[in-house]
Amino acid sequence: MCRVFAGQDPEGYRQINRSIRIDGHSTSIQLEATFWALLDEIADSQGLTTPKFISKLYDEAIEINGQIPNFASMLRTTCALYLRGHR
């Protein structure tokens, strides 16, 4: 079983930085390529661009929780929840 995971294409876990405008401020977010691909898919399913989806997600999370200690981790968790919902 470990070969399935250990043998994955290194491109999937390559770090990618994207500059996103959130709440009027430009910020850089670093995630693995696989997570960016999933965020692109989620955004498309919502009829939004990825930057617009991320900005909207940020605004809603701030409204609900008041703060986000680690936004990149929240984005990864968003991807996991999305995949869990599509099993």
Q: Is residue 16 part of a domain?
A: no
Nearest to 82, CA basis, from 21, 14, 47, 35: 35
φ, ψ for residue 51, nearest 5 deg: -60, -40
Q: Is residue 70 part of a domain?
A: yes
Q: Is residue 85 part of a domain?
A: yes
Question: What is d(CA 12, CA 23) in angstroms, rounded to the nearest whole number?
Answer: 29
Number of domains in the chain: 1
Q: Which residue has the higher pLDDT, 10 or 81?
A: 81
Q: Is residue 16 pLDDT above 70, yes or no?
A: yes
Residue 17 confidence (pLDDT): 98
pTM for the whole structure: 0.91
Q: Is residue 19 part of a domain?
A: no
Q: Is residue 14 part of a domain?
A: no
Q: What is the pLDDT of residues 36-84, one digit of tens each?
A: 999 999 999 999 999 999 999 999 999 999 999 999 999 999 999 999 9
Q: Is residue 22 part of a domain?
A: no
Q: Is residue 48 part of a domain?
A: yes
Any residues with CB less than 8 A from the CB of 14 and at least 6 apart, and which? 32, 33
The domain in which residue 56 lies consists of: 32-87
Q: Is residue 46 part of a domain?
A: yes
